[in-house]
Protein backbone atom coordinates (compact mmCIF):
# COMPACT_ATOMS: atom_id res chain seq x y z
CA UNK A 1 0.00 0.00 0.00
CA UNK A 2 2.83 2.38 0.85
CA UNK A 3 4.34 1.89 -2.60
CA UNK A 4 0.96 2.61 -4.21
CA UNK A 5 0.66 5.87 -2.27
CA UNK A 6 4.17 6.81 -3.35
CA UNK A 7 3.22 6.26 -6.98
CA UNK A 8 0.11 8.40 -6.55
CA UNK A 9 2.17 11.11 -4.82
CA UNK A 10 4.54 11.08 -7.82
CA UNK A 11 1.57 11.23 -10.18
CA UNK A 12 0.37 14.31 -8.31
CA UNK A 13 3.76 15.94 -8.88
CA UNK A 14 3.67 15.18 -12.61
CA UNK A 15 0.03 16.26 -12.87
CA UNK A 16 0.79 19.63 -11.26
CA UNK A 17 3.24 20.54 -14.05
CA UNK A 18 0.34 20.95 -16.48
CA UNK A 19 0.52 24.41 -18.10
CA UNK A 20 -3.15 25.04 -17.29
CA UNK A 21 -2.51 24.60 -13.56
CA UNK A 22 0.60 26.77 -13.44
CA UNK A 23 -1.08 29.43 -15.57
CA UNK A 24 -4.06 29.57 -13.20
CA UNK A 25 -1.79 29.90 -10.17
CA UNK A 26 0.21 32.67 -11.84
CA UNK A 27 -3.00 34.56 -12.65
CA UNK A 28 -3.99 34.63 -8.99
CA UNK A 29 -0.52 35.04 -7.44
CA UNK A 30 1.08 37.85 -9.44
CA UNK A 31 1.43 40.96 -7.31
CA UNK A 32 0.44 39.28 -4.03
CA UNK A 33 2.24 39.34 -0.69
CA UNK A 34 3.96 36.24 0.70
CA UNK A 35 1.13 35.08 2.98
CA UNK A 36 -1.53 35.42 0.31
CA UNK A 37 0.62 33.79 -2.39
CA UNK A 38 1.21 30.69 -0.26
CA UNK A 39 -2.45 30.55 0.76
CA UNK A 40 -3.57 30.79 -2.87
CA UNK A 41 -1.33 27.93 -4.01
CA UNK A 42 -2.29 25.74 -1.04
CA UNK A 43 -6.03 26.29 -1.46
CA UNK A 44 -5.76 25.64 -5.20
CA UNK A 45 -4.11 22.27 -4.48
CA UNK A 46 -6.72 21.35 -1.83
CA UNK A 47 -9.61 22.32 -4.11
CA UNK A 48 -8.07 20.36 -6.97
CA UNK A 49 -7.61 17.21 -4.88
CA UNK A 50 -11.08 17.45 -3.34
CA UNK A 51 -12.73 17.85 -6.74
CA UNK A 52 -10.89 14.85 -8.16
CA UNK A 53 -11.87 12.74 -5.15
CA UNK A 54 -15.57 13.63 -5.35
CA UNK A 55 -15.87 13.09 -9.10
CA UNK A 56 -13.78 9.93 -9.02
CA UNK A 57 -16.15 8.52 -6.37
CA UNK A 58 -19.15 9.44 -8.52
CA UNK A 59 -17.63 7.82 -11.60
CA UNK A 60 -17.03 4.59 -9.67
CA UNK A 61 -20.79 4.10 -9.35
CA UNK A 62 -22.07 5.90 -12.44
CA UNK A 63 -20.97 5.09 -15.98
CA UNK A 64 -20.25 8.25 -17.93
CA UNK A 65 -18.95 8.29 -21.48
CA UNK A 66 -15.57 9.76 -22.40
CA UNK A 67 -17.40 12.31 -24.52
CA UNK A 68 -19.18 13.71 -21.47
CA UNK A 69 -15.99 13.57 -19.38
CA UNK A 70 -14.36 15.64 -22.09
CA UNK A 71 -16.54 18.56 -21.00
CA UNK A 72 -14.34 18.75 -17.91
CA UNK A 73 -11.47 19.90 -20.12
CA UNK A 74 -13.77 22.45 -21.76
CA UNK A 75 -14.73 23.84 -18.35
CA UNK A 76 -11.08 24.12 -17.30
CA UNK A 77 -10.09 25.80 -20.56
CA UNK A 78 -13.02 28.21 -20.42
CA UNK A 79 -12.14 29.28 -16.88
CA UNK A 80 -8.52 29.95 -17.88
CA UNK A 81 -9.58 31.92 -20.97
CA UNK A 82 -11.99 34.02 -18.91
CA UNK A 83 -9.20 34.76 -16.42
CA UNK A 84 -6.94 35.83 -19.28
CA UNK A 85 -9.59 38.11 -20.75
CA UNK A 86 -10.23 39.62 -17.32
CA UNK A 87 -6.54 40.39 -16.72
CA UNK A 88 -6.14 41.94 -20.17
CA UNK A 89 -9.27 44.03 -19.61
CA UNK A 90 -7.81 45.30 -16.32
CA UNK A 91 -4.61 46.30 -18.13
CA UNK A 92 -6.30 47.98 -21.09
CA UNK A 93 -8.81 49.85 -18.92
CA UNK A 94 -6.03 51.07 -16.61
CA UNK A 95 -7.58 49.46 -13.53
CA UNK A 96 -4.41 47.98 -12.06
CA UNK A 97 -2.84 50.13 -9.36
CA UNK A 98 0.27 50.06 -7.21
CA UNK A 99 1.00 51.83 -3.94
CA UNK A 100 4.13 51.78 -1.78
CA UNK A 101 4.35 52.49 1.92
CA UNK A 102 6.57 51.63 4.87
CA UNK A 103 6.05 49.65 8.06
CA UNK A 104 8.92 49.57 10.57
CA UNK A 105 11.27 50.99 7.93
CA UNK A 106 10.40 48.16 5.54
CA UNK A 107 8.86 48.87 2.16
CA UNK A 108 5.51 47.26 1.36
CA UNK A 109 3.95 47.20 -2.09
CA UNK A 110 0.21 46.77 -2.61
CA UNK A 111 -1.26 45.97 -6.02
CA UNK A 112 -5.00 45.97 -6.58
CA UNK A 113 -7.69 46.10 -9.25
CA UNK A 114 -10.43 48.70 -9.53
CA UNK A 115 -10.80 52.19 -8.13
CA UNK A 116 -10.54 51.66 -4.37
CA UNK A 117 -7.82 49.88 -2.40
CA UNK A 118 -9.50 47.22 -0.31
CA UNK A 119 -8.15 44.18 1.52
CA UNK A 120 -10.29 41.15 0.73
CA UNK A 121 -10.11 37.39 0.63
CA UNK A 122 -11.66 37.12 -2.83
CA UNK A 123 -8.40 35.88 -4.38
CA UNK A 124 -7.99 33.05 -1.89
CA UNK A 125 -11.58 31.83 -2.13
CA UNK A 126 -11.45 32.15 -5.92
CA UNK A 127 -8.28 30.06 -6.09
CA UNK A 128 -10.01 27.28 -4.14
CA UNK A 129 -12.97 27.45 -6.53
CA UNK A 130 -10.60 27.42 -9.50
CA UNK A 131 -8.95 24.29 -8.11
CA UNK A 132 -12.36 22.63 -7.80
CA UNK A 133 -13.35 23.49 -11.38
CA UNK A 134 -10.05 22.44 -12.92
CA UNK A 135 -10.12 19.17 -11.01
CA UNK A 136 -13.03 18.10 -13.21
CA UNK A 137 -10.71 18.08 -16.21
CA UNK A 138 -8.24 15.73 -14.51
CA UNK A 139 -10.69 13.02 -13.46
CA UNK A 140 -10.07 10.73 -16.43
CA UNK A 141 -6.30 10.73 -15.96
CA UNK A 142 -6.60 10.12 -12.23
CA UNK A 143 -8.98 7.18 -12.70
CA UNK A 144 -6.64 5.58 -15.22
CA UNK A 145 -3.74 5.90 -12.77
CA UNK A 146 -5.75 4.60 -9.81
CA UNK A 147 -7.07 1.75 -11.94
CA UNK A 148 -3.51 0.67 -12.64
CA UNK A 149 -2.43 1.09 -9.00
CA UNK A 150 -5.39 -0.09 -6.95
CA UNK A 151 -8.10 -1.40 -9.23
CA UNK A 152 -9.81 1.97 -9.40
CA UNK A 153 -10.80 2.01 -5.70
CA UNK A 154 -10.37 5.65 -4.65
CA UNK A 155 -9.62 6.09 -0.95
CA UNK A 156 -9.04 9.28 1.03
CA UNK A 157 -5.40 8.29 1.63
CA UNK A 158 -4.86 8.13 -2.13
CA UNK A 159 -6.38 11.57 -2.61
CA UNK A 160 -4.24 12.97 0.21
CA UNK A 161 -1.11 11.51 -1.41
CA UNK A 162 -2.12 12.99 -4.76
CA UNK A 163 -2.93 16.38 -3.20
CA UNK A 164 0.41 16.48 -1.37
CA UNK A 165 2.22 15.79 -4.64
CA UNK A 166 0.29 18.55 -6.36
CA UNK A 167 0.91 20.90 -3.43
CA UNK A 168 4.69 20.41 -3.58
CA UNK A 169 4.79 21.82 -7.12
CA UNK A 170 2.12 24.46 -6.62
CA UNK A 171 3.76 25.90 -3.50
CA UNK A 172 7.19 25.73 -5.13
CA UNK A 173 5.82 27.60 -8.14
CA UNK A 174 4.21 30.05 -5.71
CA UNK A 175 7.65 30.83 -4.29
CA UNK A 176 8.90 31.52 -7.82
CA UNK A 177 6.02 33.94 -8.39
CA UNK A 178 6.74 35.48 -4.98
CA UNK A 179 10.37 36.04 -6.01
CA UNK A 180 9.19 37.80 -9.17
CA UNK A 181 6.71 39.86 -7.15
CA UNK A 182 9.38 41.03 -4.73
CA UNK A 183 12.13 41.73 -7.24
CA UNK A 184 10.50 42.83 -10.49
CA UNK A 185 7.12 44.37 -9.68
CA UNK A 186 8.34 47.54 -8.00
CA UNK A 187 6.73 49.90 -10.49
CA UNK A 188 3.39 50.07 -12.26
CA UNK A 189 4.90 49.57 -15.74
CA UNK A 190 6.34 46.18 -14.79
CA UNK A 191 3.10 45.24 -13.03
CA UNK A 192 1.09 45.92 -16.18
CA UNK A 193 3.60 44.02 -18.30
CA UNK A 194 3.39 41.04 -15.93
CA UNK A 195 -0.41 40.95 -16.05
CA UNK A 196 -0.35 41.35 -19.84
CA UNK A 197 1.95 38.33 -20.16
CA UNK A 198 -0.23 36.35 -17.74
CA UNK A 199 -3.38 37.29 -19.65
CA UNK A 200 -1.98 36.38 -23.06
CA UNK A 201 -0.53 33.12 -21.70
CA UNK A 202 -3.93 32.22 -20.25
CA UNK A 203 -5.59 32.76 -23.63
CA UNK A 204 -2.98 30.66 -25.43
CA UNK A 205 -3.08 27.79 -22.91
CA UNK A 206 -6.88 27.76 -22.69
CA UNK A 207 -7.31 27.88 -26.46
CA UNK A 208 -4.77 25.11 -26.92
CA UNK A 209 -6.78 22.87 -24.58
CA UNK A 210 -9.99 23.56 -26.52
CA UNK A 211 -8.51 22.81 -29.95
CA UNK A 212 -6.21 20.04 -28.77
Spatial CA neighbour of 132 closest among 172, 163, 96, 89: 163
113 bridge partner residues: 96
Query: Which regions in the chain score pLDDT beneath 70?
Result: 1, 59-60, 63-70, 101-110, 112, 114-123, 136-154, 212
Evaluate if pTM is beyond 0.95.
no
Cα-flanking dihedrals φ and ψ of residue 98, to 5°?
A: -135, 135
Per-residue model confidence as pLDDT tens digits over 33-52: 788 888 888 888 888 878 87
Amino acid sequence: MEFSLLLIFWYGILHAFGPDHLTAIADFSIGKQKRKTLMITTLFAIGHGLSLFVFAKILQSVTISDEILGYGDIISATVIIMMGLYLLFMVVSNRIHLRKHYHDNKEHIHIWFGKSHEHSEVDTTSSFTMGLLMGIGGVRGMLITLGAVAGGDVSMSMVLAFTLGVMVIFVGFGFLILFLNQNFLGNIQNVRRAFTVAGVTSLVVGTNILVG
